[in-house]
Structure 1
Amino acid sequence: MFVEVVAPAPGSPPPRAARPPLGRRVVAGAQPYLYLAPALALLGVWTYRPLAQTVQLSFYSWNLLPSTPMTPVGLRNYQRLIDLPDLGQAAVRTVVVIVGLLPFSVVIPVLVGLVTRQVRDRARVVYQAMVFAPTLVAPVASAAVWQWLLDPGAGVVNKVLGTRLNWLHETGSAQFAIIVITGWSVLGFATLVVSAGLAGINGDYGEAAQLDGASRGQITRWITLPLLSPTLVFLVLMTVLLSAQWTFPLIDTLTQGGPARATTNVYYLLWDYSFHSYDAGLGAAAGVLLFAAFGLVAAGLVRLSERLSFHDD
């Protein structure tokens, strides 16, 4: 028995494959979203739902007591917040904290990463453990240790420097002390991030430049640092967005925003309005403004990083 196979006529379109059933196509298209569904659900419950509640609360006056009803006040909380001088002063202190932490999160990690780039084997493991150790210390525990180190009478810092400065209770030194303690805890994480960025740079570029007569400094300036720019932009972005959050547990433990509000940044001001003054509406309005301001800053930094970063394609 022979089966005759008819070839398609020249120039005719090829036969179309049979499409799978509609149900199968819907299941195949929805499969990626089903994998993402748990994460999206948790994101909505723990991030966007509280954010929406915060925006709603910013239009009410409430003292956090369940027996007291919330009173709608419109935009009055935002007007009060703008009229208060504390917001502008806290914003200035936040900028000071960001600028003060940049050496600990960017400059020093880059220097340490470049100097220790040739460390290998067990010595590298020991070095990374020593550098990263402060990051693992709980903020409250490190605050207790630093409070003892900075004691005006028996503190080790004053003994080494030969001073009797009350670091945490004088307006001129309290902010500096908070920045140094926070920088000490962030330094290890930033150094490891820089080390990972350096490890991802192809060494062939440096070797080729060295064959052409480039010095080690020229290789670092014109090859290593440009290729490290995405890592540096990431660290700068984290410092700008999270500095106030990093300092909060230390401020709450060591200074409570003092002395004379010298260490009160925007993050601690939000906490103060909500849980010290029991003005939940004003605190929520501060949180909304803080979220919007840092969102704009983050968008600007991301857009700027796309222009300044150099990627090895």
Structure 2
Amino acid sequence: MVPLNYCTFEADRTSTDVAFGVFLIALGAVIGIAVGAGVNRIVGSGKGISSLTSEQNTAGTFKGTVIPFALLAPTLVILALFLYAPALDNLRLSTLLARLGTDRTAFVCVDNFTKLLEPRQNYGQTLYATFLISFFTVIIGLAISLMIAYVAYQPVRGASIYRTLLIWPYAISPPVAGIIFGMVFNEGAGIMNHLIRSGGGVPVQWLQSASIAPWTIIAASVWKSMGFNILFYIAGLQNVPKDLIEAAAIDGANFVVRFRRVIIPMLSPITFFLIITNITYAFFETYGTIDFLTRGGPAGATSTMIYRIVDNGLNQRDLGSAAAQSLILFSLVIIITLIQFRTSGRRVTYGR
């Protein structure tokens, strides 16, 4: 075990290393106190864990622990081998100076994390690009999907064909979406610039401009995810009670009021689910689109966290830095998801 003073409090450690080490110790203390309080609440009650099941024995429940654990064993083994073990190994790797293709490693403690704070790493721009692309991919994607789903939900001839055509982009992989939008937004031969030239305008550098390129990525990501969102919104609209909409119309509510006061609240469970899934998509699955369209450029304007992780790990062969960044990304997604559950989850209406 590496002594703690070597890790963060050695004399030659920088102030950033010391501050980060104190933060990790404080975080560990908070987690330990929370876990200890939970255990103490169960044990201190005098009933123990067994009381959680003994007082609630009903027909159809297991009275012992052997059969439940035997049934759970295959799932637990798979989770341990393919989820928990790689996660722990990634945590170990984040404290090492490791290069892809060599077995030689060196323990560097928190250096892989603190180096990201150096100005030359420009990690702040990476965070900004990540949140910019992710936020607008989720917001714009859900808004457009809901509007299209509402139109596609209307009883018109050939509605099933229209719905199928709207959903099929979801089956396309992100790299293919990047190829399609690369042809659309190509500066020289793209469809968009061809239309602009036809109207007498000046061609736009969709992929070469640092201020425009992120929005091109957002457009491609929104188009790619809309099929999934539309599918769920159409299913949700089919379950909205029509008598509520008719009652609101009788009371004099116009379309906007009915949509905002009746339809959107009734779709809140689906919207809540789609927000979580779209956040995951925006953070993790946009790599293929970015890699084909901009490769993180121009000047790092579209270099998101997931793109930088893959680039550092595979192209630059810096496994330690990539592992550290993946832990940061994982932590951010967990925090955002918990905040979403704590805030939006309270406003979700499951009743009819």
Fold match, TM over 0.5? yes
Listed one character per residue, the Cα deviations across residues 163-219 of structure 1 (whole Å, up to 9, x for unaligned) are 423322232322121111111111111111111222222223223334444444332
Describe the shift of the 1:34–1:161 C-alpha distance in structure 2 as closer, same or farther (beyond 3 A): farther
* TM-fit CA distance, 1:30: 4.3
Corresponding residue for residue 95 of structure 2: 59
Aligned partner of 1:256 among 295, 316, 327? 295
* TM-fit CA distance, 1:115: 2.4
Are 2:88 and 1:49 equivalent residues in the alignment? no
2:241 and 2:76 map into 1 onto residues whose CA distance is 36
2:169 and 2:140 map into 1 onto residues whose CA distance is 13
Q: Which residues of 2 match residues 47-126 of structure 1 at below 5 A?
A: 47-66=83-102, 68-84=103-119, 85-119=121-155, 123-126=158-161
Corresponding residue for residue 234 of structure 1: 273
Are 2:214 and 1:179 equivalent residues in the alignment? no
Describe the shift of the 1:254–1:216 C-alpha distance in structure 2 as closer, same or farther (beyond 3 A): closer
Corresponding residue for residue 191 of structure 1: 230
Aligned partner of 2:332 among 293, 299, 309? 293
Are 2:179 and 1:144 equivalent residues in the alignment? yes
Corresponding residue for residue 164 of structure 2: 129
Q: Which residues of 2 match residues 278-289 of structure 1 at below 5 A?
A: 278-289=317-328
Helix, strand or coil at the partner of 1:115 = helix
User: 8 Å contact 2:125–2:300 — kept in the other structure?
Assistant: no
The amino acid of 2:348's aligned partner reads S
User: 8 Å contact 1:105–1:235 — kept in the other structure?
Assistant: no
- Report percent identity of matched pairs: 26
1:73 and 1:219 map into 2 onto residues whose CA distance is 59
Corresponding residue for residue 50 of structure 2: none
Aligned partner of 2:283 among 238, 244, 248? 244
Helix, strand or coil at the partner of 2:122 = helix
The amino acid of 1:46's aligned partner reads F
* TM-fit CA distance, 1:28: 6.3
User: 8 Å contact 1:149–1:155 — kept in the other structure?
Assistant: yes
Describe the shift of the 1:40–1:116 C-alpha distance in structure 2 as closer, same or farther (beyond 3 A): same
Describe the shift of the 1:169–1:215 C-alpha distance in structure 2 as closer, same or farther (beyond 3 A): closer
1:291 and 1:44 map into 2 onto residues whose CA distance is 18
Instruction: Name structure 1 gaps, 5 residues minimum.
Output: 1-24
Corresponding residue for residue 15 of structure 1: none
Helix, strand or coil at the partner of 1:61 = strand
User: 8 Å contact 1:104–1:186 — kept in the other structure?
Assistant: no
Describe the shift of the 1:292–1:223 C-alpha distance in structure 2 as closer, same or farther (beyond 3 A): same
Return 261-270 or 234-243, whichever deviates more: 234-243
The amino acid of 1:74's aligned partner reads C
Corresponding residue for residue 222 of structure 1: 261
1:35 and 1:204 map into 2 onto residues whose CA distance is 45
Return 36-45 or 217-226, whichever deviates more: 36-45
Describe the shift of the 1:154–1:231 C-alpha distance in structure 2 as closer, same or farther (beyond 3 A): same
Listed one character per residue, the Cα deviations across residues 47-84 of structure 1 (whole Å, up to 9, x for unaligned) are 22211110010111111224x32111111211112335
The amino acid of 2:163's aligned partner reads Q
Please say which structure displays the higher CA radius of gyration. Answer: 1
The amino acid of 1:166's aligned partner reads Q
2:304 and 2:161 map into 1 onto residues whose CA distance is 36
Corresponding residue for residue 13 of structure 1: none
* TM-fit CA distance, 1:26: 7.1
**So what's the TM-score if we normalise by structure 1?**
0.83
* Count of residue pairs the alignment pairs up: 287
Return 265-274 or 237-246, whichever deviates more: 237-246
* TM-fit CA distance, 1:155: 1.6
User: 8 Å contact 1:104–1:187 — kept in the other structure?
Assistant: no
Instruction: Name structure 2 gaps, 5 residues minimum.
Output: 1-60
